[in-house]
Amino acid sequence: MRKVVWISVGVLILQLGFIASYVAAFHQPTPREIPIAVVAEQGIPAGVDTDTVDKLNGIDGTPLQARAVASTEDARALIRDREVLGAYVLSASGTDTLITASAAGSSISAALESIFTQVEQSQNRQFLVRDDIPVGIHDNRGLSGFYLSVGWVVGGYLLAAAIGLLVGAPKSRRDAAAQLGIFAGYSILSGALGAFIVTSLLGTFAGHWFPLWLLGTGVVFATSVFTLGLRAAIGVAAVPIAIIVFVILGNPSAGGAFGPYVLPEFYAAVGRWITPGIGTEGVRSIVYFSGNGLGQPALALAVYAVVGIALLFGFSRSPRNAKSETAPVS
């Protein structure tokens, strides 16, 4: 009975952590230092662009991080390279242009429109919105990549948790190698099938099956092997820790349609290093930005895999050591 009580307490803590984390992340999204480019078209007096940059960076709460660039083409290139999330083009006609990329986060684009509506009203100017990199017609608010990533992550840690609880930790390094091979095969298969669903079956990300397969394989493998390594190192406590990391912290910090620049600073900082956020950003980079921005997700997945493998083999006994520990002392 005491064990049941302690399990109930543990589950309650996880449940309350889930509620607190999601509500804390999403209850009041506030734009913070959204990087944008400012362009002055021909006919705008010299220095207006730098004055505009100073004014935008001086808005209370620092919702923008503006910088001047030479041309609209340069600004669009920066958006495609994911170095900025929008551009503000000053026109001599009095009707300016706000260039956005809703594929990088629909809430960020909405926040930019709201901010510049107030800016333009204060200056008696008007502006048009041009979404240069919109989300796909079958990708409502850019959430499909988030859900795809979450599905991969859930499969990864559930497999590791189930094997850890039902089979137990590897008893030798040979067992560890065998489990690692199973996890690699599972990761390849689940990555391929997840990518197939969103590309061929649903048509959400048509034409991107192969790179999404590679990404999905990496997300599942990194999540599952890291969880398996924790299981070998600390036992069954790895299961709630995996839930805390990948679900309670990972899912809300991934952002979904919000993106890191409208989430609280803590979630924005950790989200890019936890596999739900890694996968979400990876999908965006592949589908909408021609692979730009994939370097950091790839590095993070490699770190998870290396750490997981190191823990797995470091805390698994070799067959010789296992035999010597069980042999009778003469």
Kindly state whether residues 165 and 302 are assigned to the same domain. Answer: yes
Q: Quick check: is 307 in a domain?
A: yes
Name the nearest CA neighbour of 100 among 247, 259, 251, 234.
Answer: 259
Q: Quick check: is 73 in a domain?
A: yes
Q: What pLDDT, on the 0 to 100 scale, is given for residue 3?
A: 79
Total tally of structural domains belonging to the chain: 2
| pLDDT of 327 above 50 | no
Report the share of the chain in percent with pLDDT over 70.
96
Q: What pLDDT, on the 0 to 100 scale, is given for residue 221?
A: 97
Q: Quick check: is 183 in a domain?
A: yes
Q: Quick check: is 159 in a domain?
A: yes
Q: Quick check: is 29 in a domain?
A: no
Kindly state whether residues 249 and 180 are assigned to the same domain. Answer: yes
pTM, two decimal places: 0.88
C-alpha to C-alpha distance for 196 and 175, rounded to whole angstroms: 32
What would the pLDDT profile of 6-58 be if each residue is shown by its tens digit? Answer: 878 888 888 899 899 989 888 888 899 999 999 999 888 888 889 999 999 99
- Give residue 8's identity as a one-letter amino acid code: S
Q: What pLDDT, on the 0 to 100 scale, is given for residue 111?
A: 93
Q: What residues contact residue 129 under an 8 Å CB cut-off, 6+ apart?
A: 97, 98, 100, 113
- Give residue 14's identity as a one-letter amino acid code: L
Kindly state whether residues 38 and 59 are assigned to the same domain. Answer: yes
Q: Which of 209-218, 225-234, 253-262 has the lowest mean pLDDT?
A: 253-262
137 or 73, which is more confident? 73
Kindly state whether residues 123 and 175 are assigned to the same domain. Answer: no
Q: Quick check: is 21 in a domain?
A: no
Q: Quick check: is 85 in a domain?
A: yes
Kindly state whether residues 207 and 88 are assigned to the same domain. Answer: no
What would the pLDDT profile of 274-321 be if each residue is shown by its tens digit? Answer: 999 999 999 999 999 999 999 999 999 999 999 999 999 998 864 443
| pLDDT of 330 above 60 | no
Kindly state whether residues 187 and 156 are assigned to the same domain. Answer: yes
Q: Which of 14-28, 110-124, 316-330 has the lowest mean pLDDT?
A: 316-330
Instruction: Look at residues 131, 157, 178 and tell me which one is the last residue of a structural domain.
Output: 131
Kindly state whether residues 150 and 56 are assigned to the same domain. Answer: no
Q: What pLDDT, on the 0 to 100 scale, is given for residue 187?
A: 97
Please give the residue range of the domain that contains residue 53. Answer: 34-131
Q: What pLDDT, on the 0 to 100 scale, is given for residue 317?
A: 64
Q: What residues contact residue 20 under an 8 Å CB cut-off, 6+ apart?
A: none
Instruction: Look at residues 131, 148, 181 and tell me which one is the last residue of a structural domain.
Output: 131
Kindly state whether residues 302 and 249 are assigned to the same domain. Answer: yes
C-alpha to C-alpha distance for 286 and 16, rounded to whole angstroms: 35
Kindly state whether residues 151 and 281 are assigned to the same domain. Answer: yes
What would the pLDDT profile of 190-228 be if each residue is shown by its tens digit? Answer: 999 999 999 999 999 999 999 999 999 999 999 999 999
Q: What residues contact residue 231 under an 8 Å CB cut-off, 6+ apart?
A: 160, 161, 164, 169, 238, 239
Q: Quick check: is 13 in a domain?
A: no
Q: Are 259 and 105 in contact (CB under 8 A)?
A: yes
Reduced 3-state DSSP string for 207-262: CCHHHHHHHHHHHHHHHHHHHHHHHHHHHHHHHHHHHHHHHHHHHHHHCCCCCHHH
Q: What pLDDT, on the 0 to 100 scale, is given for residue 77?
A: 96
Kindly state whether residues 124 and 163 are assigned to the same domain. Answer: no
Instruction: Look at residues 131, 153, 182 and tell me which one is the last residue of a structural domain.
Output: 131
Kindly state whether residues 103 and 234 are assigned to the same domain. Answer: no
Kindly state whether residues 305 and 177 are assigned to the same domain. Answer: yes
